[in-house]
Amino acid sequence: MKKLMATAVLGLAVTVSGAMAADGGALFKSKGCGACHQANVKTVGPSLKEIAQAYKGKEGELIKFLKGEAKPIVDPAKFGIMKPQLNATKNMSDEELKAMAEFMLNH
Ligand code: HEC
């Protein structure tokens, strides 16, 4: 009986963390990305709309960029400001990166 309880609790924990990891918008906020990226207006960085346009149909490329494996295509001249931010994303799990990429592409 005790073992059964433990399994149930573990199962719940996995489900909860899975649901959280899939929330790209929350991740985007918690990593501080919103400080430079607004939904529709260009501020320090390009707007999410601009990023979504550049990466339309290229989710894989966007994930590569966040892993530090692909060159910038939106505003390469300002990549110096974005580059250090990749330290926050390149060690995130594939699942988290996919969720965040989807969040950005949905603008
Ligand atoms: C200090 C300001 C700043 C923060 C914080 C920031 N960015 Fe950026 N970001 C920029 C600037 C400036 C650019 C434009 C340069 C470029 O295109 O790489 C940019 C560009 C991008 C691009 C377009 C890349 C391309 O192909 O050109 C993506 C995607 C992006 N940021 C995602 C993020 C994510 C995700 C976070 C949070 C982890 C984040 N940014 C945090 C300033 C910032």
Task: Supply the pTM of this predicted model.
Answer: 0.86
pLDDT above 90 (res 34): yes
pLDDT tens string 79-91: 999 999 999 999 9
- Tell me, using a 6 A CB cutoff, whether residue 82 lines ligand 1: yes
Quote the number of domains for the chain: 1
Compute CA distances 80 → 31, 49, 53, whole Å: 18, 21, 21
Instruction: Determine the structural domain holding residue 95 and report its residue range.
Output: 2-105
CATH number at residue 8: 1.10.760.10
Residue nearest to atom 12 of ligand 1 (CA): 45
Ligand 1 center from residue 80 Cα (angstroms): 10
With H, G, I as helix, E, B as strand and everything else as coil, classify residue 91.
coil
What are 38-96's pLDDT values in tens digits? 999 999 999 999 999 999 999 999 999 999 999 999 999 999 999 999 999 999 999 99
Shortest CA distance to 62 belongs to which of 82, 80, 34?
A: 82
